[in-house]
Amino acid sequence: MRIFSGIQPTGRKHLGNFIGAIEPYVVHQERGEAIYCVVDLHATTVPYETARMRASVYDTACILLAAGLDPERCIFFRQSDVPEHTELSWLLASVTSFGDLNRMHQFKDKAGAQRDLVSASLFTYPVLMAADVLAYRADEVPVGDDQRQHIELMRDIAERFNARFAPDAATPPLVVPEGVYREVGARIMDLQEPTRKMSTTGGTEQGTVLVLDEPKTIEKKFKRAVTDSGSEILHDREQKPGVANLIEIYAAVKGLSFADVEREFAAARYGDFKVAVAGAVVERLMPVQERYAELRADEGTLEAIFADGAEKARAITRETLADVRELMGVGPNRAAVR
């Protein structure tokens, strides 16, 4: 079983990122051969500050490592250190439909937010994302629920490539991957606007809990969290979106089901429940914050981790690219040069 996923270095990481992506990374490294990268190339598709980019890559890497990602048990690297990603992206563009890219929801959303330039790289972003995964012939891709459309396109690209360039192959050259979506905690919402996803760009400041927030700040944000009319603590996203969001956060942090949380707080008031959720989050994030501070102080070690991971990653991607090039008739003919 080979597992691949990437995380953007844009924005400060919040509780939704932590529960929905970072913690699952740690779990999946025990399930098979896990490969993770900080996708800095994807971050260049929208305007960014050059000086901030490198710092954001380090910040993101440190949070992942502090949460429990172990370079000895997984392959962990920086996307731009493995050039096969971009080469494969170009080659796969030949089996990617313009119409499919034009229908991508995230492109429309992000393009609409740009005041000046809408980059071509933002449009072709899904092809690079497909290359990220297909270069490793990964079986599974742990991602957020909002990435389903990208996963479906990725699968289509792999199937088209196999059908066009290796229709009679006993083993298809590219693996058609499956998306893996977390059920509990898959969609953490803004504490102030519980019908909107928690975000550092489109959310509210008081409704977004950052992984590196001070404990008192976290407690204050939860105490001010929007709840709903009534007094019952029930998981009902339609009628009680605020309470349902708090239940999902507590369930994810504590490893419980929604029903477990409802039973535990059956007689509790909203105020007491919010205090309990805040306490659980603070308890979970405190060791991560402490470890983060230690790691962030040593950028040399981070670069060494990236370099080691990139070397391991390239051992896989070079083989995939050699096969793809040969099938597409690009570059040296391997049979002729032997």
Q: How sure is the predictor about 184, in pLDDT bands with cuts at 50, 70 and 90?
A: low
Determine the distance from the C-alpha atom of residue 271 to the mean position of all C-alpha atoms in its chain, rounded to a whole number: 32
Query: What letter represents residue 300's amino acid?
Result: G
Q: Are 127 and 245 part of one and the same domain?
A: no
Q: Are 104 and 232 part of one and the same domain?
A: no
Give the model's pLDDT for residue 336: 78
Q: Enter the pTM of the model.
A: 0.90
Domain range spanning residue 250? 215-294
Q: Are 309 and 181 part of one and the same domain?
A: yes
Query: Tens digits of per-residue pLDDT, 166-181?
Result: 999 999 999 999 998 8
Q: Which two tokens stand for residue 78?
A: 């920086």
Q: Give the domain CATH number at 220.
A: 1.10.240.10
Which of 207-216, 253-262, 293-302, 326-335 shows the lowest mean pLDDT across its residues? 326-335
Query: Tens digits of per-residue pLDDT, 187-210?
Result: 899 999 999 999 887 789 999 999
Q: Are 124 and 102 part of one and the same domain?
A: yes
Q: Are 328 and 287 part of one and the same domain?
A: no
Task: Locate all alpha helices (DSSP H) within the chain, ordered by sequence.
Answer: 15-17, 23-28, 40-43, 50-67, 84-92, 98-102, 105-113, 120-123, 125-134, 148-165, 215-223, 241-254, 258-264, 270-296, 299-328, 334-337
Q: Are 230 and 277 part of one and the same domain?
A: yes
Q: What is the mean pLDDT of the chain?
A: 92
Does the residue 195 lie in any domain? Answer: no
Q: Terminal CA-to-CA distance of the chain, rounded, Å? A: 32
Residue 28: closest CA among 60, 66, 56, 68: 68
Q: Are 93 and 140 part of one and the same domain?
A: yes
Does the residue 209 lie in any domain? Answer: no
Query: Tens digits of per-residue pLDDT, 61-104?
Result: 999 999 999 999 999 999 999 999 999 999 999 999 999 999 88
Q: Are 144 and 221 part of one and the same domain?
A: no
Give the Cα separation of 331 and 326 in Å (integer): 7
Residue 96: closest CA among 161, 143, 13: 161
Give the Cα separation of 338 and 335 in Å (integer): 6
Structural domain tally of the chain? 2
DSSP 231: S
Q: Are 161 and 87 part of one and the same domain?
A: yes
Q: How sure is the predictor about 185, in pLDDT bands with cuts at 50, 70 and 90?
A: low
Does the residue 191 lie in any domain? Answer: no
